[in-house]
Structure formats: structure tokens, C-alpha cells
Structure 1
Amino acid sequence: MKTLIIYCHPYKRSFNHAILETVKDNLRNKKIDYQVIDLYADNFNPTYDKEELRLYHVGKTHDPLVKKYLTMLKNTLTVIFITPLWWNFVPGMLKGFIDKVMKEGEGLSHTVTKFGVHGELTNIKHTYLLTTSTSPNFYLKICLGNGIKRVFVNQTLKQLGMKDRHWKNFGEITNSTMGRRKKYLDKIKNYNFK
């Protein structure tokens, strides 16, 4: 599989869902093989129970979706995350995906050394984060210290070994016009996902 889309939104009439459909159209038109992880549709449980936490420390899980998702991640070249930003960060569902699916251990998502985390997902050559937010872009980047880029993109995804990371945010979603939304979707429809 060349491309894996990780989609995190519960509502099929959301603008995030329109972005998802546009990305899929883009990839189909370019004859790029892809699969979608739809966290809400899969009823993914983003929280740990005691057994899951115990198994984490030995790189195992009792959640079949975790195994499935990690296998998909290990067999893709490109990852495209599509998610809203809620309270200036990714939703708990996506944070729980990172927490539960990214397992420590050789051949898994990362190993921990005395020098820090070493990412094992080096097969992922291109990573895209497509977000929407109520806040304007300048507010996220300047007033809030660019936390999505600094922490999620340049630290978390980098630590996991994901390369060539890009973040595109559609800000001020609540007050956006249909024309502005269409213009953004047209850009996504023609975007060169590698």
C-alpha cells in the first residue's frame, strides 16, 4: 500500500469529511493505492485499560485494531492525517491513536534508547497533517506558539520516524464562506501528495 489516510472526525457532513473525500478523489485520479483508517467508524477505543498498559511495556496489545493499524503503518510510504483541532490540539481520539498504536519494541513504531526515542516507522517517506480550526492560522502559529507544528509534527511524528512532514490548516472554519471552502478543496484536489 502506498498511502494511508488516518481520518479523525465523527460527523459525515463535516468539512473534514469533505476534505477526506477530496483527498480520496485526488489519489484515485492519480491512480495511487490507498487505505483509510476511520477512527470513529471503526469504534476505536483510544483509552488504555490496565491490561493494555501492562502489555504496552512489552510491545504487545489485546486490542485487534491496534495490531491492524500498526501493520498498516509498517506497510505504507505516505500517511495523510485529516482531523479538526479542538482546543488548539488534536482530538483525544487521535492522541489516543498515537498513545495506543505506537508500540515500543524492535520492529514496532519506536525503540527507547539512553539517548531518547528512535523511530522505527522510517518506511513512511511523506507525512501530511490536514487540519481545520475555529482559530485563525496566525493565532495558532503566533499567539499559541505554533504547538501543532512544534510538538505534534516536529517532535511526535519525527520521533516515530515519519519523514517529509507537512501541516496545512484551514483556519476560521466556523465563519468561512462556501467560496473559501471550495477554493481550499480545489487546492487539495490538485495537491501533489507523494
Structure 2
Amino acid sequence: MSNYVVVYCHPYEKSFNHAILGRVLEALESRGHSTRLIDLYAEGFNPVYDREELRLFHTGGTHDPLVGRYLDMVRSADGIVFVTPVWWNSVPGMLKGFIDKVMKEGEGLSHTVTPTGIHGELGNIRHTYVFTTSTSPTIWLRVMAGDGIKRVFVDGTLKQLGMKGRRWVNFGGVTGSSPERRRRYLDKVSAIRFK
């Protein structure tokens, strides 16, 4: 069985994202995987990259204790799940700040810089799942909005960090969706065979 880190990025505990989080945790645990939760809003993570954090970046250092803890969790995981809304065709600033601050440069951290670009050090992550919700239909995000979640976040950033087995599932049109549609969405989460 695998050791998963679940990164949850939503400020409201009655949101549909929270319901997805619950199903993700149930599905992982029912398949015998161990889970550790990073709840960015509930834990008071500060996504702002300040001057001191930037000064420490190239040494792999940090002055934010959550950053070190989160990076240790990611470095020791076999899989990772992100649960987040899509805001303005992208991930929220909170999740972007998580990537900015936690993904430290340096050997044995999240990535190293080489003459040919960034080399991801997170090859330990063999299974990567990104669950998003959006007001817009998924087809609109893919075709009209430039497919930013898949193209930039999943197949750009996460790939560059070395994460493997990347899969994106969006639940579109969620704002005005019926209870039946939301049930079908949650059943889809439960049916995923997390490896």
C-alpha cells in the first residue's frame, strides 16, 4: 500500500471541495493506504513569499516551520492528492504559494537547477491526482480558457517537480449543480482506484 499526502485548499468547511476531500480520504483509507492531510487554510499557511524566505530559497532553508514540515511530508510520500477549486481559470493563490514556498531548490529537496533547466527531485511521488471544482464547464476550461490546470499546473509544474502518474479530474458547473449531480461527482471520486 502507498503513503499519500493530501493537500486541501479551500477555506470553507461546507464547500463541495470539502465533500470531495472526505471522499478522497475514505477511498484512500478503504484501499489500505496511509494518509496525511495538509489543510492549508485550517493550518494557517501563509502563502506570501517574503524577503527572508526568498533569501533562504537557494540554500533550501526557510523561516516558516510549516514549509519544512510540508516538504518533509511530500518527500516521504508515494502519492499526492490535491483538492482545490479553480478560481479565474487557475489554482488559488494559496495553492500557488504552497508550490512557491514549499518546493525548495537543492539536492534532496524538491528540485535542482541544471544547465538544461529544472530537474525534479520528487520521483518518490508515483501517483499524482488533482481534483478540482469549477463554475465553468470542464470543456470551457480546456478549450476556451487555455487548459491551464492540465497544461500549466499538472503537466507543467507537477511534472517538472518529478511527480509521476499525473491525473486531473475536474467537476465542472458545480455552482448551480443539482444534489443528484453532486452525488454522481462524489461517486466518481469513490470509484477511483488509487494505486
TM-score, scaled relative to structure 2: 0.98
Partners of 2:10 and 2:41 within 8 A in 1: yes
Gaps of 5+ in 2: none
Paired residues of 2:31 and 2:194 also in contact (CA < 8 A)? no
Alpha-carbon distance in structure 1 between the residues aligned to 2:124 and 2:28: 19
Contact 2:82–2:130 (CA under 8 A) maintained in structure 1: yes
Alignment partner, residue 186 of structure 2 = 185
Gaps of 5+ in 1: none
**1:157 maps to what in 2?**
158
Contact 2:125 2:164 in 1 (8 A): yes
Matches within 5 A, 1:82-101: 82-101=83-102
Shift of 1:190: 2.1
Q: In the TM superposition, what is the alpha-carbon distance from 1:55 to its structure 2 partner?
A: 0.4
Aligned partner letter, 1:65: L
Which residue does 1:68 correspond to in 2? Answer: 69
Q: Which residue of 2 aligns with 1:105?
A: 106
Partner secondary structure for residue 169 of structure 2? strand
Moved more, 48-57 or 155-164: 48-57
Once the two structures are aligned, what percentage of the paired residues are identical? 61
Number of residue pairs aligned between Structure 1 and Structure 2: 194
Q: Using the TM superposition, name which of 181-190 and 12-21 deviates more.
A: 181-190
Q: Distance in 2 between matches of 1:13 and 1:92?
A: 20
SS of match in other structure, 2:45: coil
The root-mean-square deviation of aligned C-alpha atoms, in Å, is 0.8
Aligned mates of 2:190, 2:149 — CA distance in 1: 24
What's the CA shift for 1:30?
A: 1.5
Q: Secondary structure at the match of 2:83?
A: strand
Deviates more, 1:182-191 or 1:79-88: 182-191
Runs of 4+ in 1 over 6 A off after TM superposition: none
Tell me which residue corresponds to 2:17.
16
